[in-house]
Amino acid sequence: MAELSPDQVAGNWSAIASEYEQAFEGLSTQYAAHALRLLDLRPGERVLDVAAGTGAFSLLAARAGAEVLATDFAPGMVDRLRERIAAAGLPSITAEVMDGQALALPDASFDVSASVLGLIFFPDLDRGLTELRRVLRGGGRAAVVCWRDPASLQLMTLVRQSIQKVAPDFQPPATPPTWARLSGDSLRFRMETAGFRDVEVVASTATQQIHAPEAYWSGFTRSAPPLAHLFGQLGPERTAAVGREYIEALRAQSRDGVPTLRVEACIGLGRA
């Protein structure tokens, strides 16, 4: 069995649930809303959210009238989502700790299944997709969100460029990150291989303005296990300098001077 990367270890995600929510929910909520529109969700339908994180998709689906089961392998993520469910007063969501590659759920038990920027981290992508298909009733719909082109993802391209300016001798990880294995180009094929019918892949773009750059950067450096490891290696002084370069690069690309992320993802849609 291959050694797990830091972003495939549940405890690493549990430790940074709040930072993940702060850094990424502004983007993931936009992808989740787009996916829900494409899925044509109807009130009363049963929805499964796999690798739900802090619950962007689940919360939107529940507010649209669905009965939602949110699952994640990281107890800390599930704890945070349960806090949000209670605060929002949404009794139609249940959150459970569960491995998305081996769901403890019966066949054909949901109308909709989805994973928004979660399945991309699975050690076995195909098992994850097969499980999303297995739990759907006949004619049920699924949505999977991944980055459109991980190699040119603005979010990380600017990080790499900023590190190069601040610490040109620093050697980043030599191997591609786990989240870069699935892209818009490969998503259709993998979903079809997993048994989905009528598969289509739709581009989805999210934008996020960063009105408090220092606070954003502080959370961003701890918002995912690979980032926490990377900036831990750089150390606090160089990390702060990288942050200044990163924010300035975002500001330079923005029309009104407010640092703005524009990040392209893909939504894979299929039927059981």
Instruction: Please tell me the predicted confidence (pLDDT) of residue 83.
Output: 97
Strands 46-50 and 110-116: parallel
Could you please state the CATH topology (level 3) that the domain comprising 6-271 is classified under: Rossmann fold (3.40.50)
Six token digits for residue 37: 């529109």
DSSP assignments along 260-271, one per residue: EEEEEEEEEEEE
Strands 197-209 and 260-271: antiparallel
DSSP assignments along 184-223, one per residue: HHHHHHHHHHTT-EEEEEEEEEEEEE-SSHHHHHHHHTTS
Per-residue model confidence as pLDDT tens for the chain (272 residues): 568 888 999 999 999 999 999 999 999 999 999 999 999 999 999 999 999 999 999 999 999 999 999 999 999 999 999 999 999 999 999 999 999 999 999 999 999 999 999 999 999 999 999 999 999 999 999 999 999 998 888 888 899 999 999 999 998 777 788 999 999 889 999 999 999 999 999 999 999 998 888 889 999 999 999 899 899 999 999 999 999 999 998 888 887 888 888 999 999 999 99
Q: For helices 75-88 and 56-63, give the axis angle rounded to 10 degrees.
A: 30
Instruction: Please tell me the predicted confidence (pLDDT) of residue 1.
Output: 55
Extents of the domains making up the chain:
6-271
List all residues 6 or more positions away from 2 whose beta carbon is below 8 Å from its beta carbon. 123
CA-to-CA distance for 18 and 85, rounded, in angstroms? 15
**How many of the other CB atoms lie within 10 Å of CB of 255?**
6
Task: Please say whether the beta carbons of 119 and 50 come within 8 A.
Answer: yes
